[in-house]
Homo-oligomer: A and B are copies of this chain.
Amino acid sequence: MSSKKVTIKHIAQAAGVSFSTVGKALHNDPLVNKETMKKIIRIAGELNYYPNLLAKGLRNKKTETIGVIFNDLKNPVYSEIIKAIEEILNNLNFTMLLCDSNFQEKLEKKNIVTMLSKDVAGIIISPVNEKSENIQLIAENNLKAVFLDCTPDYPGISYVYVNHERAAFLATEYLIKNGHKNILLLNGPCGLSSAQHFLKGYLKAFSFYGLIPADNLIKSINISIAGGRSIFKTLYKCKKDSGRTDFTAIVTLSDLIAMGTYKAARELSLKIPEDFSIIGYDNIFCSEILDPPLTSVNYPKTITGKTGINMLIDQINNRENKSKTIIIEPGLVKRDSVKKIIDRF
């Protein structure tokens, strides 16, 4: 009914005390008389009082809000990380301000400035690129931050990094050990840090096993089912037309891309793994349900989220300035999308 919001002044009036006494009572200040306190708390309840967090934040120059900045909120990897973060935040009575940078540095910058403007206590960010000026922006403004999916080489920056290079190595190695040597890499956009790390691991596996990767077998595409489907179809067409870009297996940065190739395969009446082998990365919830179940390198999503937010909270509470760095090792989950080729190894 009453459209006016209840403030400590209203409570003060109703309780017949000053508003600063109310303030103290609401904070359980032991200096306040037991009885007055009870009364104040009772009245606050009756009036359905809730504090104005903007005023509180302005006064304290600090809010109980955490900013989260990712590149694709639709990607199940981030959904799971977000869920994990939210759970912890909820226990701490923190809230989450969520932004999507959509792989654009400019948007990312805007998002960071928003976080700054809103005086968030800290941010968790999976940046577009670990070398962009945006990370400097974060550092310069003393914005507490934990980075995901990259290893920024910047003083005082903390990150929890799921080793993408290792993931690619593991995936590629597994294919090589199964006898594949023409391995198509379906990577993410080349500006993306994760994609850069992933490429390194792919190349490392090749050189480790004394193999030479073919230039035309390395593709940068959008991280999506549509992206995977479309590149596979054009590549398959090339293959039929000219016999070029031949591959027996695929490694990809994302299970989503892998799912695109599943879709294309069905449309082209191709069999996995008989016609081509594929190994994904992320191990999203549906990968095991596919037919054949997708072999994938697991991205420990919940652990990453929880570790990241805990690191950030530590950074916020203890005002230690030393940066912390955690590397999480991904693990191969063998399922049925890779075929052993006999003529090698």
A65 to B79: give the CA distance in the assembly, Å.
21
With known contacts A54-B119, A73-B86, A86-B100, A1–B262 Cβ distance under 8 A: no
A289 to B262: give the CA distance in the assembly, Å.
7
Q: Range of interface residues on chain A?
A: 35 or more
Which B residues are CB-close (under 8 A) to A87? 100
* A290 adjacent to B288 (CB under 8 Å): no
- Which of A25-33, A110-118, A200-208, A326-334 forms part of the interface with chain B? A110-118
A315 to chain B, nearest CB (A): 16
Task: Please provide the chain A residues from 111 to 134 with a CB less than 8 Å away from any CB of chain B in the complex.
Answer: 113-114, 116-119
Quick one: closest B residue to A258, CB to CB?
A: B289
* B83 adjacent to A117 (CB under 8 Å): no
- Which of A90-98, A152-160, A165-173 forms part of the interface with chain B? A90-98
- Which of A55-63, A213-221, A242-250 forms part of the interface with chain B? A55-63
* A52 adjacent to B90 (CB under 8 Å): no
Task: Please provide the chain A residues from 1 to 33 with a CB less than 8 Å away from any CB of chain B in the complex.
Answer: 1, 3, 5
Q: Which residues of A are in contact with B by a Cβ distance under 8 Å?
A: 1, 3, 5, 48, 50-55, 57-58, 63, 65, 72-74, 76, 79-80, 82-83, 86-87, 90, 95-100, 107, 113-114, 116-119, 140-142, 225, 259, 262-263, 285-286, 288-291
With known contacts A83-B74, A289-B259, A290-B290, A58–B63 Cβ distance under 8 A: no
A113 to B44: give the CA distance in the assembly, Å.
14
A115 to chain B, nearest CB (A): 9
* A73 adjacent to B63 (CB under 8 Å): no
